[in-house]
Amino acid sequence: MTESPVWLPPDRAWPVELCSNDRAPDLSAAEESALGLYARSRELFTKVQTKRFHARLERLVRPLQDVMNLMAPCTARRTETVNSVLREVYRRHQVYWGWKTQDWIEVLKGSTGRRPLYMGVAYLLGGFVDFPAVDDRVFAQHKFATKIFGCEAVEMAVGRVQSKLREWGYADVMVTASVPRTVCEAILANRSPRLEEFSREVLEELRKKHLAISVNRCLVAVSEVLTDLGIFKEPLAADKVRGVAVHPHILQSVPAEWARICDCWRATSTRGRRTRIGGYYWLLCVGRWLGREHPEAISPAAWTRELAAEYVAVVCCLRIGDWAERLNQVGSSKIGKPIAAGTIHYRIDILGAFFSDLQEWGKIPRRFDPRRCLRTPRSVLMQLGPRPRVVADDIWAKLLWAGLNLTEDDLPRCRFTRRDDGRTSFYPLTMVRALVVVLLFSGLRRDEIRRLRVGCVRWQPSTAEAEQNQGKSAICLLDIPVNKTSPPFTKPVDRVVGEAIAAWEQERPVQPKRLDAKTGESVSFLFLYRGRRIGPEYLNVRLIPTLCRKAGVPPQDVRGNITSHRARSTIASQLFNSKEPMSLFELQEWLGHRTPTATQHYVKITPTRLAKSFSDAGYFERNLRMVEVLIDRQVVMAGAAAREPWKYYDLGHGYCSYEFFDQCPHRMACAKCAFYRPKGSAEAQLLEAKTNLLKMQQMIPLKDEELAAVEEGIAAMERLLTQLADVPTPAGPTPRQLRSSSLVEIRTAPRSNG
Residues 567 and 444: their CA atoms lie apart, in Å, by: 9
Asked if pLDDT for residue 42 goes beyond 60, the answer is no
Determine the pLDDT at residue 345: 92
Phi/psi at 661 (5° precision)? -60, -35
Question: Does residue 242 carry a pLDDT above 50?
Answer: no
Query: In the structure, what pLDDT confidence band is assigned to residue 47 with cuts at 50, 70 and 90?
Result: low
pLDDT band at 236 (very low <50, low <70, confident <90, very high): confident
**Residue 574 pLDDT more than 80?**
yes
Look up residue 726 and give its amino acid: D
Average pLDDT of the chain, as a whole number: 79
Residue 517 has pLDDT above 60, yes or no: yes
Q: What angle do CA 552, 553, 559 make, to 5 degrees?
A: 175
pLDDT of res. 382: 85
pLDDT of residue 422: 54
Region of poorest pLDDT, from 87-101, 468-482, 487-501, 734-748:
734-748
Q: Cβ contacts of residue 552 below 8 Å, gap of 6+?
A: 398
Residue 111 confidence (pLDDT) above 80: no
Q: Which residue has the higher pLDDT, 645 or 214?
A: 645
User: Contact, 568 vs 444, CB < 8 A?
Assistant: yes
Structural contact between residues 120 and 107, judged by C-beta atoms closer than 8 angstroms: no
313 contact partners, CB below 8 Å, separation of at least 6? none
pLDDT of the residue at 518: 85
Average pLDDT estimate for 654-668:
78
pLDDT tier at 63, thresholds 50, 70, 90 = confident
The model's pLDDT over 634-652, given as tens digits with 9 standing for 90+, comes to 777 777 777 778 788 877 7
At residue 17 the predicted structure's pLDDT band, cuts being 50, 70 and 90, is confident
- Cis peptide bond prior to 365, omega within 30° of 0: no
Pairwise CA distance, residues 526 & 437, whole Å: 14
Tens digit of pLDDT for each residue in 454-486? 999 999 875 445 455 544 557 899 999 998 888
Q: How far is CA 495 from CA 253, 459, 500, 504, 573, in A?
A: 57, 9, 9, 15, 20
- Rounded CA separation 15/491 (Å): 62
Confidence at residue 246, expressed as pLDDT on a 0 to 100 scale = 37
Q: Can you say whether the dihedral through the CA atoms of 177, 181, 186, 192 is positive or negative?
A: positive
Helix (H, G, I), strand (E, B) or coil at 404: helix
Q: Between the CA of residue 700 and those of 501, 625, 697, what are the distances in Å?
A: 62, 5, 10
Residue 691 has pLDDT above 50, yes or no: yes
From edge to edge, which strands make up the β-sheet containing 489-493?
Answer: 457-460, 475-480, 489-493
Beta strand 475-480 pairing with 489-493: antiparallel
Q: Is the pLDDT of residue 753 over 50?
A: no
SS (H, E, C) 539-594: HHHHHHHHHHHHHCCCCEECCEECCHHHHHHHHHHHHHCCCCCCCHHHHHHHHCCC
Q: Could you tell me which residues are beta bridge partners of residue 476?
A: 459, 493
Q: Compare 612 and 368 and report the one with higher pLDDT.
A: 368
H or E stretch at 292? helix 273-293
pLDDT of 645 = 82
> What's the sign of the alpha-carbon dihedral 454, 456, 457, 462?
positive
Q: Does residue 535 or residue 464 have the better pLDDT? A: 535
Quick one: pLDDT band at residue 747, thresholds 50, 70, 90? Answer: very low
Q: Which residue has the higher pLDDT, 492 or 135?
A: 492
Instruction: Read off the DSSP letter of residue 132.
Output: G
Name the more confident of 506 and 424: 506
**pLDDT computed for residue 639 by the predictor:** 73
3-state secondary structure of 381: helix
Cα gap 190→156, rounded to integer Å: 16
Lowest mean pLDDT among 144-153, 395-404, 653-662: 653-662
Cα separation, 122 vs 84, in Å, equals 13
Residue 241 has pLDDT above 60, yes or no: no
Q: How confident is the model at residue 498 (pLDDT cuts 50, 70, 90)?
A: very high
Task: Find how far residue 118's CA is from the centre of its chain.
Answer: 52
DSSP three-state, residue 697? strand
For 698, counting Cβ atoms within 10 Å of its Cβ (0-12 exposed, 13-18 middle, 19+ buried), the class is: middle
> What is the spatial distance between Cα 547 and Cα 536, in angstroms, rounded to a whole number?
18
User: Confidence band (pLDDT; 50, 70, 90) for 656?
Assistant: confident
Give the whole-number percent of the chain exceeding pLDDT 90. Answer: 20
What DSSP string runs through 56-110?
A: HTHHHHHHHHHHHHHH---HHHHHHHHHHHHHHHHHHTS-GGG--HHHHHHHHHT
DSSP H helices in 558-696: 564-576, 584-591, 596-600, 607-617, 619-622, 633-638, 682-689
Asked if 474 and 461 touch (Cβ cutoff 8 Å), the reply is: yes
Q: Which residues of 523-547 are buried (b: 16+ CB within 10 A; e: fewer)?
A: bebbbbbbbbbbeeebbbebbbbbb
Average pLDDT over residues 411-419: 61
pLDDT band at 59 (very low <50, low <70, confident <90, very high): confident
Can you tell me the mean pLDDT for 353-369? 91
Residues contacting 663, CB < 8 A, separation 6+: none
pLDDT attached to residue 411 = 85
Q: How far apart are the first and last CA of the chain?
A: 170
Q: Is the model's pLDDT at 24 over the cut of 60? A: yes
Q: Which residue has the higher pLDDT, 42 or 322?
A: 322
Q: What is the mean pLDDT of residues 710-726?
A: 65
pLDDT at 674 over 60: yes
- CA 69 from chain centre, in angstroms, equals 59
Q: Any residues with CB less than 8 A from the CB of 200 and at least 6 apart, and which?
A: 223, 226, 232, 233, 236
Residue 490, beta-bridge partner list? 479
**What average pLDDT score do residues 269-283 get?**
86
